[in-house]
Amino acid sequence: MKESVRIQQEDFSQDEEIRALQASSKRMGGIATFLGCARDFSEGREVSEISFDAYGSMALSELKKLRNDAIEKYSLLDARIVHRIGTVKGGDNIVFIAAGAEHRVAALEACRWMIDELKQRVPIWQKEITPQGEAWVTPHP
């Protein structure tokens, strides 16, 4: 089985991640997921590709801490986080987060919390490549 927290170049399968989460406990009554995708339009410009840079070892360690923190904070039964790096095109998957809990509220709240925290804590940067040139992304609130 794949690790529950990963940073990888290749695409991931949401179905595979959800199956792995579900297999971890039969007490799971709710699974919430977040899928972040690459947009082909940003700040009024066409975006042809998005390229990611990461402080790989720290990013992985922060993602693992984030998963552990979420499991503790929301009493989750399990959680999974996968983030892609390298270059992606409009419509491609970027990040997948899944939270499994006994009940839906904890799963939904934990999923929202994890993506918000990921954006604050995890050293990954994205650069938009447009026909007019390249620009590093300024984070959105």
Partner 1 sequence: MIKVLFFGPVAARIGSNQMMVAFRPGIRLQDVRDELAAQYPQAFEIVCFAAANGEHVRDMSLPLTDNSEVAFMAKFSGG
Return residues touching partner 1 (CB under 8 A).
36, 52-55, 57-59, 61-62, 83, 94-95, 115, 118-127, 136-139
Instruction: Please report how close the Cβ of residue 122 comes to partner 1 at its closest, in angstroms.
Output: 5
Query: Which residue, 48 or 123, is less far from partner 1 as judged by CB?
Result: 123
DSSP state of 137: P
* C-alpha to C-alpha distance for 47 and 92, rounded to whole angstroms: 12
Query: Which residue, 94 or 108, is less far from partner 1 as judged by CB?
Result: 94
Instruction: Please report how close the Cβ of residue 104 comes to partner 1 at its closest, in angstroms.
Output: 23
* C-alpha to C-alpha distance for 87 and 37, rounded to whole angstroms: 12
> Phi and psi (nearest 5°) for 22?
-65, -35
- The first and second tokens of residue 27, run together, are 């007490």
Q: Residues 128, 42: contact at Cβ < 8 Å? A: yes
Query: Which residue, 45 or 119, is less far from partner 1 as judged by CB?
Result: 119
Instruction: Please report how close the Cβ of residue 116 comes to partner 1 at its closest, in angstroms.
Output: 9
SS3 45: strand
Q: Residues 33, 20: contact at Cβ < 8 Å? A: no
Instruction: Please report how close the Cβ of residue 77 comes to partner 1 at its closest, in angstroms.
Output: 23
The vertex-124 CA angle with 1 and 53, nearest 5°, equals 95
Query: Which residue, 25 or 42, is less far from partner 1 as judged by CB?
Result: 42
Query: Which residue, 22 or 61, is less far from partner 1 as judged by CB?
Result: 61
Instruction: Please report how close the Cβ of residue 34 comes to partner 1 at its closest, in angstroms.
Output: 9
